[in-house]
Amino acid sequence: MSFFQRLKDSIKQKTEAITGKFVAGLSKTSSAFVSQVSDLFSRRKKIDEDFYEELEEILISADVGVHTVLQLIEDLRKEVRVQRIEEPAKLQPVLSELIMKLMRNEQSLSLKQSDSGLTIYLFVGVNGVGKTTTIGKLAHYLKSQGKSVMMAAGDTFRAGAIEQLEVWGERVGVEVIKQQSGADPAAVMYDAVHAAKNRNVDVLLCDTAGRLQNKSNLMDELNKVFRVIQREVPDAPHEVLLVLDATTGQNALSQAKLFGEKSGVSGLVLTKLDGTAKGGIVIAIRNELKLPVKFVGLGEKMDDLQPFDAEQFVHALFSQMNDEDEVADK
């Protein structure tokens, strides 16, 4: 059995053992991507420049990103030469492994608890990406892991933001620390950190106002929030999570680049991955920014926010092609 076949079997077994959420959540991307790749691999009889150019176009159309696509194509050329592959039909496991290499070294959420036993996560991003919903779903996830959780309503500017977080607090059974609309977000964080310490909470999830990364006054406000948190818990925040809407494609990549430069982002959360046929943006963001993808949103249910797993992602991406191969083998 070849290395790639063993890899394929291993990915399949792991995915089946854990969950089918990635396969379901990436069904739109997989359908669009696989139909084109499968057609290319079966229609082309030799691996030539026309083949590479068409594959390049398919990958770019899936929002994998030009820089990442060029790297993938170059790596694929090398593997074809080294392994002396002549038939396009034999390239799917090679392409899967190359994408996997770009996605490896993911890191789970940091639980570097301070002396007080409190871990603090700060969420940033523009309006409309699903930041508040992500916080509510993460609270549910952490509670299912046995953690005690509290939420801080630091978005005091968007109409309804505090109420939205309170609704999630009621659904999940988590206390929300808030002030009135228009209050100083840093003051909310101060209250929340002290409340979390007093109640011996494990994790404090801090919402912030949606902000454009090029608005200096809003970034200054975020820096003030940082300073207040760090004054009360010196090694916090333990994660700064940038929430991105996967359906916005290359715009999400642009946001990630600018936020990463200005706000100390340590990880990414990609929402609405189930709502796009261009889930390749995950590959582009991971490869170009070297920032770990911590969680992905794969649906609207409370438990559809899932820890990102590179093997599950790649298997889900090629799931329909894998199924076709299995049928052909029978």
pLDDT tens, position by position, 70-80: 999 999 999 99
- Structure confidence at residue 141 as a pLDDT band (50, 70, 90): very high
Does some domain include residue 76? yes
Tokens coding 172: 């999940």
> What is residue 300's predicted lDDT score, i.e. its pLDDT?
84
Alpha-carbon distance of 91 to 182, in angstroms, equals: 56
Mean pLDDT throughout 17-25? 65
Does some domain include residue 1? no
- Structure confidence at residue 13 as a pLDDT band (50, 70, 90): low
CB neighbours of residue 201 within 10 Å: 22
Do 167 and 222 contact (CB within 8 A), yes or no? no
Does some domain include residue 44? yes
The CA-atom distances, in angstroms, between 276 and each of 33, 112, 268 are 11, 34, 18
Q: Is 93 found in the same domain as 128?
A: no
Does some domain include residue 112? no
Q: 50, exposed or middle or buried, with CB in 10 Å at 0-12, 13-18, 19+?
A: exposed
- Domain boundaries, position 214: 119-308
Q: Is 178 found in the same domain as 201?
A: yes
Q: Is 234 found in the same domain as 177?
A: yes
Q: What is the CA radius of gyration of the chain?
A: 22
Q: Is 283 found in the same domain as 230?
A: yes
Q: Is 251 found in the same domain as 148?
A: yes
Q: Is 86 found in the same domain as 153?
A: no
Does some domain include residue 113? no
Q: Which residues 6+ apart lie within 8 Å of 231 measured at CB? A: none
- Structure confidence at residue 15 as a pLDDT band (50, 70, 90): very low
Strands 267-271 and 293-297, how do they pair? parallel
Q: Pick the most confident of 18-27, 172-181, 306-315, 319-328.
A: 172-181
CB neighbours of residue 233 within 10 Å: 21
Q: 52, exposed or middle or buried, with CB in 10 Å at 0-12, 13-18, 19+?
A: middle
Q: Is 202 found in the same domain as 123?
A: yes
Q: Is 321 found in the same domain as 304?
A: no
Does some domain include residue 2? no
pTM, rounded to two decimals: 0.83
Does some domain include residue 147? yes
Alpha-carbon distance of 190 to 293, in angstroms, equals: 28
Look at the chain and report how many structural domains it folds into: 2
pLDDT in tens, 103-131: 776 666 766 555 568 999 999 988 888 89
Checking if the pLDDT of 12 tops 70, the result is no
Strands 239-245 and 267-271, how do they pair? parallel
- Average pLDDT along the chain: 83
> What is residue 19's predicted lDDT score, i.e. its pLDDT?
52
Q: What is the DSSP letter of 110?
A: P
Checking if the pLDDT of 304 tops 70, the result is yes
Checking if the pLDDT of 151 tops 90, the result is yes
